[in-house]
A and B are shown apart, each in its own frame.
Chain A
Amino acid sequence: MKKIISILVRNKPGVLSHVAGLVTRRAYNVESIAAGPTEDRKITRITLVVSGDEKVLEQVVRQIQKLVDVIKVDGIPHESAMTGELALITVSLPRERKSELMNLVSLLGMTVKTIEKDSITLQVAGSAQRVDSAINGLSPFTIKSMARTGLVALPLGQNGEGADPFP
């Protein structure tokens, strides 16, 4: 089972080390971790995607809540979260297949970041599913390198606040 954990933390040096360290120390499985500022400069939001059984996930949430810099933790089930992710993908581009690729790019809803002599860098943003399908859709071509941000999330319908931490 997968769970999205949305964490508001004090924007202090080392806070990401504290969160990441906790997760590895207790041997939880992390799918992704993403951090960035919120509407308040003093507060950072960290989005963790972890997998494990219900009991493990409940422990993850409680152990994170215990960290001094953590202000609030929400464990969000996948179905009640707004999620988004961004990926940059560099694909090698044989000259003769350029139009084939460009068709695919528009079909998959991607945008072009840069074009080099024999490669092209694309961007896709949206749900994790959308990013996955874009990457799969590029399989006829050779992906040279790729970077994904990991999922960021907000709980649905509550303006990001007040979700039950132990749903």
Chain B
Amino acid sequence: MHDKPPAAAGPPPPKGTITGAQAVVKFLLDRGLKTVFGYPGGAVIPLYDALYKSGVRHILARHEQGAVHMADGFARATGSVGVVIATSGPGATNLVTGLANAHMDSVPLLAITGQVPTTSIGSDSFQEADIYGISIPITKYNYLVKNADELVESLAEGLHIARTGRPGPVLVDIPKDVQTSYLKYGEPNEIRLPGRDPGEPPSEAAVAALAEALERSQRPVFYVGGGAVAAGVAEDILRLAEGSDAAVATSLLAKGVFPDGHPLSLGLPGMHGPKYSNMAINESDLIVGLGVRFDDRVVGDVRRFAPFAKIAHVDVDPAEIGKRLQVELPVAGDLKLVLKALQGELKPGPKPRWRARVAELKKKHPLQAPESPEVVKPQKLVSLLSEAAGEDAIFVTDVGQHQMWCAQFLSVKKPRRFLSSGGLGTMGFGLPAAIGAALGAEKLQVVAVCGDGGFQMTLQELACARQYDVPVKIVISDNGCLGMVRQWQQFFHKRRYSETIFQFNPDFARLAEVFGVPGRRVEKPRDLPGAVDWLFQTKGAALLDVFVDPEENVLPMIPAGKGQTDFYEAET
């Protein structure tokens, strides 16, 4: 092994220049992007050569999809930009799901891909894929850097785009010859994108109208989304809600922005939200959307959503306002600035009747947590984990039934403590995202809760967790089936369980052991508390495979496209 790069053949480099690959590494270090996730390959060999002993911490995933979900989990946990590197062709296309996932949930990522040399582009050469074209609809912006002189500027602009306004993933595709070309590294000029200014103050008239509506409202509900996490406004929302007695519903991505268990907290609204959450929205006279998409899984039937309410919508992305619902009070702008302006305008008044009504709804229509001495109920498992992990833990979920039970039964009181694939619903997200989160938030306990289906999509990353001694606690809510689809088949397809029951599953505890991660299996409720203790007391990564009731359903449920209180009555 050589520590110094071998002397290159050919003419010596021009004075004061570095290679494109070295420029990428210098850029990452200069911007404090010191942790990157990736996987090498032919078209990024020069870049990996520049990374060698460079001071950048490179985490070697076992699949590019794992790497991009790790970068995503890192970004969600820390609030900084996640960086992922992949080679051309299959390396780049393996990022697609992760980019689409980050795009849907507005997560800032910088994806750097190698590309075949500029002289070969377009000739279907080995490991060539048009990742620029492929990634247009699933990134906020993307670049194909054809010239070394444009490289640093593209990286700087891309990073700026990824983290300003509504955040999102940016891809920079760098051909191999651009990585080896020499360039003069100059600090790029201040980034100015004509036509957009995310720091623009919100319209005073719009804020005043919202303040007036809020003062007049007798039954206000804040519906808070992932935008509130990005804007860092949890405290502002808490103050505003308490000052105006607004009940607060948090979307899946905003879980923790408003503390679970607060008297004004409504939890998750929509399809699998508690009944009281949807009933409060149904009775409300003013819904204030704060950095949220009014997603179809929340709104259901557009004509019957919050029938007595005026709709106000604050969002940094004007295109979101009015996309699905008719909005009477639109406020385009940065949430932090809008809430600050709103606090200046508002003369808050207590609304004791609404506060009492919310308390009554919560008391009368709580979430049901079934109990059984025979089989572990997944709801019980989630509650136990929540207690054992404590308030500061970060929970990362996969996608499916367990994700909804986590949304319902985990008690999360701070932002960036509950990470989940919301918009895209990407199975396989949980384990790698948890690894990324744990590498970003090293002082916090990270718990990955996965189903047995999603876990099998990216379980190779156990090797990554082991290699870097990432102390992530992995819990498999193991029902031996694809529970959410099975539930829909039960309710809407006459129990015809088409391809949703796994006739074979590996022994996940033993599988973990093979990866060097201690594992245990729990089959009976009586063994669960001890096993959870074991999980949290074991040093480093550990895995708990918990057999849960395969027949359990996520309830309440509002079938897709139905009205706010059309709760599905499941036969028991």
Contact = CB atoms under 8 A, between A and B. Distances in A.
- To the question of whether A and B form a pair in one complex, the answer is yes
Nearest to A24: B137
A137 to B, nearest CB: 41
A65 B194 CA distance: 11
Nearest to A71: B195
A58 B326 CA distance: 12
Interface in B95-152: 132-133, 136-137, 140-142, 144, 146
A13 B140 CA distance: 16
A44 to B, nearest CB: 13
Contacts of A17: 133, 136
A72 B193 CA distance: 12
Kindly state the interface size class of chain A when it binds its partner.
10 to 19
Interface residues of B, number: 19
Nearest to B170: A68
Contact of A68 (B193, B317, B318): B193
B216 interface: no
A68 B137 CA distance: 13
Contact of A58 (B141, B144, B195, B322): B322
A21 interface: yes
User: Which one of B140, B146, B195, B323 has the highest number of Cβ atoms from chain A below 10 Å of its Cβ?
Assistant: B195
B161 interface: yes
Contacts of B132: 14
A65 B140 contact: no
Contacts of B136: 14, 17-18, 21
Contacts of B317: 66
A25 interface: yes
B319 A72 contact: no
Interface in B398-436: none
B140 A68 contact: yes
A2 interface: no
A22 B132 CA distance: 15
B161 A68 contact: yes
Interface string A1-40: 0000000101001100110011001000000000000000
A63 interface: yes
A98 interface: no
B291 to A, nearest CB: 16
A41 to B, nearest CB: 14
B319 A66 contact: yes
User: Which one of B133, B136, B144, B322 has the highest number of Cβ atoms from chain A below 10 Å of its Cβ?
Assistant: B136
A22 B140 CA distance: 12
Given A14-B144, A62-B318, A68-B193, 17 more contacts: A10-B194, A14-B142, A17-B133, A21-B136, A21-B137, A25-B137, A59-B323, A62-B319, A65-B195, A65-B318, A65-B319, A66-B318, A66-B319, A68-B140, A68-B141, A71-B195, A72-B195
15 contacts: A8-B195, A14-B132, A14-B142, A17-B133, A22-B137, A25-B137, A59-B319, A62-B318, A66-B317, A66-B318, A68-B161, A68-B193, A68-B196, A70-B195, A72-B195
